[in-house]
Amino acid sequence: MNPSPRIAICPGSYDPLTNGHIDVITRAASVFDQVIVGVVNLPIRKGKTLFDIDERCAFITEALAHLPNVRPLPFSNLVVDFAREQGAKAIVKGLRAISDFEYEFEMNQLNRLQAPEIESVYVMASPQFSFLSSSGVKELATFGGKIDQLVPLTVANRLKEELGR
């Protein structure tokens, strides 16, 4: 009898997908049998998204096509409920700085109350991505900053279309 696959969820708004996200997801894919990139359809904390759910999922599919055990999937419920629905036993998140840790620590405690059987796993940002955020990339794009090294080319082109002045 084969053991159950180790499935993890990497949740986020991915608005837009950055090279930091790709780094964390790629590293999770080397540890877990399956990685579901959970794309929050209606983020509460961040408000309206720049890109719709289909485009954000398409960015992820294209950027991570070389990883056969990774796929995006939208969700609109609690991340722990989404994880249960997918048969995941872990939620993987990236940490860049102390401020990320404080937020994620609080979220971990709330998630453990809801679903103690689902473990939170944290991946430290690679040094070259420790400063990178979707909101920072959007701000750079709005004012004509250089973003080509921060996001996949398709994402950079769409950001320039949507936000360029």
pLDDT tens, residue by residue, 120-153:
999 999 999 999 999 999 999 999 999 999 999 9
Q: Which fold has domain 7-130?
A: Rossmann fold (3.40.50)
pLDDT at 43: 63
pLDDT at 118: 97
Tokens of 160: 């320039």
Tokens of 5: 């696959």
pLDDT at 123: 96
Q: Where are the domains of the chain?
A: 7-130
Query: How many Å apart are CA 95 and CA 75, to the nearest integer?
Result: 22
Count helices and strands in the chain by DSSP H and E runs: 6, 5
pLDDT at 139: 94
Query: Does residue 68 sit in helix, strand or coil?
Result: coil
CB 165 within 8 A of CB 145: no
Partners of 70 in beta bridges: 35
pLDDT at 158: 95
Q: For residue 128, how many other CB atoms are within 10 A of its CB? A: 12
**Helix H or strand E encompassing 38:** strand 34-40
pLDDT at 46: 63
Which amino acid is residue 108, in one-letter code? Answer: N
pLDDT at 165: 58
- pLDDT of the chain, 165 residues: tens digit per residue: 556 789 999 999 999 999 999 999 999 999 999 999 999 997 666 678 999 999 999 999 999 999 999 999 999 999 999 999 999 999 999 999 888 898 999 999 999 999 999 999 999 999 999 999 999 999 999 999 999 999 999 999 999 999 865
